[in-house]
Each structure stands twice: as structure tokens, then as C-alpha cells.
Structure 1
Amino acid sequence: MKRVFLIVLDSFGIGEMPDAANYGDAGSNTVKAASTSQYFRMPNMKKLGFFNIDGVEIERPEEDWAKEEVTPVGAYARMTEMSKGKDTTIGHWEIAGIVSEKPLPTFPDGFPKELLDVFEERTGRKVICNKPYSGTDVIRDYGEEHVKTGALIVYTSADSVFQIAAHESVVPIEQLYEYCEIAREICEGKYGVGRVIARPFEGEAPNFKRTSRRHDYSLVPPNTTMLDQLLEADLDVLAVGKINDIFAGKGIGEMVRTANNAEGIERTLEYMKRDFNGLCFTNLVDFDMLYGHRNDAEGYAKALTYFDEKLPEILAALKEDDLLMITADHGCDPVTPSTDHSREYTPLVIYGDKIKKNTNLGTRESFADIAATILDYFDVESKVAGKSLLPEIM
């Protein structure tokens, strides 16, 4: 029995890629930004080799845990995004073996009237806002109008997203999900955004607050992924957090949604106690949703420290033939003026009883090396992009 636990620390970038300026992200470095906080501590990731990855910089080298010299017990690499983009969908697709040659469409001036006319007709509700907006700012600025009129707050961002915010007392959550399904149907072709996102909120003005019942409706991956191949080989594919949503259920055998990082870690630990043969794929979204997008470096640092504190429990639950892989899908620097994702390298740390200790895999050409490595580990001939790291780490 073999098991792989692949954990995505959503938005945990480790420094700008060479083409970052083309995306408006020159100088972005998510981990360095988070490390400026007094709450930043990652001694367990240090032991795995995270701080030995090419180019990783932090601002707290004077602290005891950062000064301590340790020989890493894992393999580690700096991952390059080969796809054209910097969003969740394209990042996860590449982790699963799909390289996207073209970026998904974005709408910096809002969605065209012809699309919204169809949406309004299908839902029976008017639309307000229709601009790129921060998710917390948009309910502050449009929440009262929505509550008074029942019009849906539709907005986007620098990412390829069609987001619908609605107060749960005005639009019941299941109805909001139905509206998102309508949007997913009509957002195709040139309007084929990566994700339609339900953004429910509650409370009273001026203290509206988003709830945890967010739900993503993604494009179906256009090609075969690692997940598809694992299922076809009669292996288990378990999805924790928004993984099922990101892949539109394609290639997923079993799934559980989560409200936050803490629950995502707990659900992963529960799967670690089960016997299965295959992959457990986890996304921890708080880094991105609660801290990166809100330019909250202190919160980001606390979330990283919390994950690091849970690592010993995760490592202790691994069995002899298990692999743990920790990575990210893009950056989201919490100290730059932008609240959007950033075009950054991402980390990869690999640990297991059979992994060569202190193996520096350098800078890889694609996130897809992760998919190729996992397929290789399960003796499944790869039909996806990427080069297996297995010969270098076993």
C-alpha cells in the first residue's frame, strides 16, 4: 500500500519569477513579506529543507530557530510555473500535469453587457458593481444596496473569476449556488473564466462579514490530469478543501470540503489514519483568501506558524511507504499595494522514510514535475506534462 499526501499552501510564493514584471508583480516575495512579522516561525519546515530551497529569503535570521543549523531530512526544489497565468485554477492544473499555453480570460473593465443581460434574464435579478474589487471592500461598498434591492453583487479581480456576493438573509445559500451554476453555464468560450465563485455574507452595515459557505465552480480541465490517471489505475483520489471544486469533480474519487486551514489539516489527519492506496490532495486556502488578498502579513505569518506547529503531527502519521509533498499554486504577497495573486516561484518539499535526506533538486521547469513524480511513484505511465523527480529522491 502506497499513499501520497500532497498539501498545497494556497498562495505561498517564494519570490518573483523572471517574467513577474509582465504581470505587474516585480519585487513580489510572499514568504519574505510574511517573515517580517514577529509571529513568523517555521522550524519544522526548516528541518524538511524549506529554507534550503534556491532563492528563499526571510527577514528573521537572528531568531534561535532560524539561526540553528540543521541537516534537512527531506528533498526540496524551487518550482517554476510554465503556464501563462498566476491564478488558482491554472496553478493547480499544472500541479496535476496540464500546462496552459494561454491565460484564462480576465475582465479588468468588468463583464460585457451581453453576458450580464443573459445572466439577469436567467436569474431574474439585477446586477450591481461589475468591477474588479476586493471581496471585503465590495460588500462594504455595495452591501446596503444589495440588501435594499435584492440585486446581486457581481465582481471580478485580476484573476479569471466571476464572483457573486449575496447576503444570506436576502438570497438563501442554495439559491446563490443555483445562480452560480447559471453563471458557470453562460461563462464559456471567450467568457470562459476559470472560476465562478459564490461569496455569501451576513451581518448588518457597516459590519458585513463573509461566511464560510463560499463555493467555487471551475472549468472542467481541458486535458487528462494526474488525478484522472490515478483513478483509471484503480487508485484512490481523496480531495480535501477546494480541490474538488478546482477540478470540477473530474478525477476525484472522494471529497470533503473545509471551512478553514485548521479543518483542512484535521480532515487530512483523519485520512492519514485510514488505509487507502493512492493520493490525498489537500488545499489550505486561508493563506490566500484571508491574508494574502487582504494584505495581512501578520495573519499570513500566524497561519504559516500554525501549519508548522501541526507538521510534527502530520509527520508522525506517515507510514513507511508514504510520501508527503508540500507546495503552492502561486504567490499573493501581503505587503505589496496589490491585493491580487503574484507571479512567483513556489516551494516543493518532499519527505518520507525512503526519500534521500537533504536532496536539493534545484529549480524545476514546471509545477507538472509533481504530477509526473506521483504517477511514477504509483508505477503509472505518465500521460501528462512534467518530469519525474523520483530517480533523484528515492
Structure 2
Amino acid sequence: MFVSAHYSGEDLIPKIQNNEPWKKVFGPVFIYLNWAMDSDNPLLLWEDAKAQMSIEVESWPYNFPASEDFPTSDLRGSISGTLLVKDVYIDEEYMSVDSAYVGLALPGDAGSWQRESKGYQFWTRTDEDGNFTISDIRPGDYNLYAWVPGFIGDYKYEFDIRISPGCDTDLGGILYEPPRDGPTLWEIGIPDRSAAEFFVPDPDPKYINKVLVNKPDLRFRQYGLWDRYAELYPDTDLVYTVGVSDYRKDWFFAQVNRKKDDKTYQGTTWQIVFKLDEINQTGTFKLRLALASATAAELQVRVNDPKANPPLFSSGVIGKDNSIARHGIHGLYWLYTVDVSGSLLVEGNNTIFLTQPRATTPWQNIMYDYIRLEAPPRHHHQLQNCSILARK
């Protein structure tokens, strides 16, 4: 079964209309069988399999399939370029970015590649100077997309790209300017589309998977972690104080429902408490909310009034990722920008309330990737946008 909603939800299922012609090659599929003596370390089998995987990756695309639907390497094309980032509140110079993701997918909006599964996608990562090359691309029409760990948002190259057999395309320099209006007042997390940096609790001893013990990078794969929230916060929800709390210890990896004694569930409201020494009452602050995953959830935002109705912002019901139920740490990426009028804020302590009210099942949750509050823009940072792009 090559297509299923079981893990990531229906968002990734190809939507084929009546009488719509469509075909896609899955494979070739390589099956590798190895063996070891009873006296051998079984992990050697795993290391051997990974070594063989590297060989097969270098051999792709295979030249033996005798099908016009699987072009050989000489009938494919390539594309290259250099990705730079501009964020004047970090650096007034153009920044080269290491290990950014750059890929080709069917034409669409920025970020649409996440939910696109009818066509083919080809991805790579940049080197330390932002250079990238994608080889062995099937001929066709694409958009070029990118996202950069350390920065929010999605990049899309402004022109469509046509890949022709045997042709190499050099885009030269391309520039990504991530969403930004003003200087950072505070931030929580790391913008990498994962919740892995946040606090992941120890599992209930009766559910512990010993294979995952002493593997901190895989703690989130233990079973039943969603129910630990109610044990850690039995009476009140999470409160995070900027400048005091540590997101690695004090921010639960998922905003889950609280399991009650009668085995029903209750929505939760998290608080971010922060201090402002001065307020621009006429300015607009920007609250950036990047989500690493959402499952049948709703995110409501209120500022300094936990009972405000309607809330300042509501996402509506979003997500079908199933990440927490499948012991994952990320799913589809969501990015929201909430305008916060300076009139809603006060000098001294302020509180942002993040509510997830949907509570029918234990699986309804939000995983945050990164949260940032920006002050109104500083006019001296509104620099000329001088282009260094070189295109063909």
C-alpha cells in the first residue's frame, strides 16, 4: 500500500477527480536480505543494511527498468543555485544558510509541497555557503520551494521552472526574506518544524519500551506520553514565564487534553507571561505562531483577558496529522501571524493565553514549533531592498 491516510491524515492523499487521467511510478522497490550467525551482534545486520542503502542511493535512478515512465539519468535534468536569507533584525547583510531544504514539486503556493502527492518531488540540502544542486529530475513543469531551519515560513521561487531532458539549469542567487515586521521581544523554541526541543516526559513505567531507554533523541516515541500531562499538571495548566522558564524543561512537547477522573477529556489553556517596560499604544505587535503538528485541534489566542469572546484569533479546526498517536514529533507545518494592538498590552506583566478547546479524544492536540513576539517596526531598519539575484 503506497497511499494511505493512516499516519498523516487525508491531507496527503492524492485527490483524483472522475475521468481525470493520472499515473505515477512507485519504485523500483529494492528488497535486501542479509544474515548473521547466532553468535554475532544483531546490530551488525542493521549497520550492513544502512551501508547497502547508501550504495543504492548512489545508484539511483536505476538504469534497468525498461519503461518509458521511468526515465534513465541521461533523460533527466538538473538545477542548481545559491540560497541566501535576508532578515535585517538578525543581520543587515545577506546570510548564506547551511542545510536548508530546497526542492522541486508541482506548481502551487508557497508551502503547497507539504500536501502535494499526485506528482513527483525532488529535494536536497544546501551546503554551508547556501549552494545546492538537484540532479536526476524527471522532465516537467515545477515550482522551486525551500524552507530554512532557524527561520519561519516557506520560500517559493517566483518563476515556474521547466526541466528538459539532459539540460542543466543554473538559477544563480535566490533570496528568501522570512516573515518579519519588527525586532524580537521574546521567543520560545527553535524554528525547525519539530517539537523535539521541548520537554518530553518519562513514560509510565508500565508502558516503557526498553529499546528507547537512554536514547534522548527518541524519547517522544514512548507510548502514552499524552496522559503524563495531567499527572504533571493535575489542577492548573502550563504557565511559561519569559526570562524565567526554560522551554527545554517547562514547555510540554504537545498541548494535549487533560484526562479527568471520569475518563473524559478537557481542553487546556496555556499561559505565556512576559514583562514590557514600555508600550507603543498605537503600534501593532506581531505574534508569530509556528506549529509542528495539529490533530483535530483549534488554537485560540487571547491577550490579557482569558475570557475574551470572541478570542483575538482562532485557527478553526485544523490538522489530521495523528503525530502524537503515532509517536511522532512533527507533522504538517502551520504558520499564523496574529496582530496584537498595542492598546491590548500594558506596562509591566502581560499574559498571552493559548487555548485548545477541542476535547473529544486524547489525540486532539497541537505541537508548537516556535513562538515569537515582535515589537512594532523600527523605521531605521526599513532598508532598500537591493537585489543580488542572478537569474537565467
Is the TM-score greater than 0.5?
Answer: no
The structure with the greater share of residues assigned to strand is 2
Q: TM-score range by the shorter chain?
A: under 0.3
Instruction: Identify the structure with bigger relative contact order (alpha carbons < 8 Å, sequence gap 6+).
Output: 1
Compare CA radii of gyration and give the structure with the larger one: 2
Larger relative helix fraction = 1
